A and B are shown apart, each in its own frame.
Chain A
Amino acid sequence: KNQVEQSPQSLIILEGKNCTLQCNYTVSPFSNLRWYKQDTGRGPVSLTIMTFSENTKSNGRYTATLDADTKQSSLHITASQLSDSASYICVVSGLNDYKLSFGAGTTVTVRA
Chain B
Amino acid sequence: KAGVTQTPRYLIKTRGQQVTLSCSPISGHRSVSWYQQTPGQGLQFLFEYFSETQRNKGNFPGRFSGRQFSNSRSEMNVSTLELGDSALYLCASSSNIAGDNTDTQYFGPGTRLTVL
Q: Which residues of chain A have a CB within 8 Å of any CB of chain B?
A: 31-32, 41-46, 49, 51, 89, 91, 93, 97-100, 102-105
B 70-92 binary contact with A (CB < 8 Å = 1; else 0)? 00000000000000000000101
Q: How far is the CB of B45 from chain A (nearest CB, A)?
A: 5
The reply to whether B45 and A46 form a contact with Cβ atoms under 8 Å apart is no
Which A residues touch B102, using CB under 8 A?
Answer: 31-32, 49, 51, 93
The reply to whether A104 and B90 form a contact with Cβ atoms under 8 Å apart is no
Q: Number of A-B pairs whose CB atoms are under 8 Å?
A: 50
28 chain-A/chain-B pairs, Cβ below 8 angstroms:
A31-B101, A31-B102, A32-B100, A41-B109, A43-B92, A43-B107, A43-B109, A43-B110, A44-B107, A46-B105, A49-B104, A91-B43, A93-B100, A93-B101, A93-B102, A97-B56, A98-B56, A98-B99, A98-B100, A98-B101, A99-B58, A100-B45, A100-B101, A102-B42, A102-B43, A102-B44, A104-B42, A105-B43
Identity of the chain B residue whose Cβ is nearest the Cβ of A92 in the assembled complex: B101
The reply to whether A46 and B100 form a contact with Cβ atoms under 8 Å apart is no
Q: Which residues of chain B have a CB within 8 Å of any CB of chain A?
A: 4, 42-45, 56, 58, 90, 92, 99-102, 104-110
Q: How far is the CB of B39 from chain A (nearest CB, A)?
A: 10
Cα distance A102–B44 in the bound complex, in angstroms: 7
Q: How far is the CB of B107 from chain A (nearest CB, A)?
A: 3
The reply to whether A45 and B100 form a contact with Cβ atoms under 8 Å apart is no
The reply to whether A89 and B107 form a contact with Cβ atoms under 8 Å apart is no
The reply to whether B4 and A102 form a contact with Cβ atoms under 8 Å apart is no
Given A42-B110, A43-B92, 12 new contacts (CB under 8 A): A32-B100, A32-B102, A42-B109, A43-B108, A45-B107, A46-B104, A46-B105, A49-B102, A49-B104, A51-B102, A97-B56, A102-B44
Assuming the contacts A31-B100, A93-B100, asked whether A43 and B56 have C-beta atoms less than 8 A apart, the reply is no
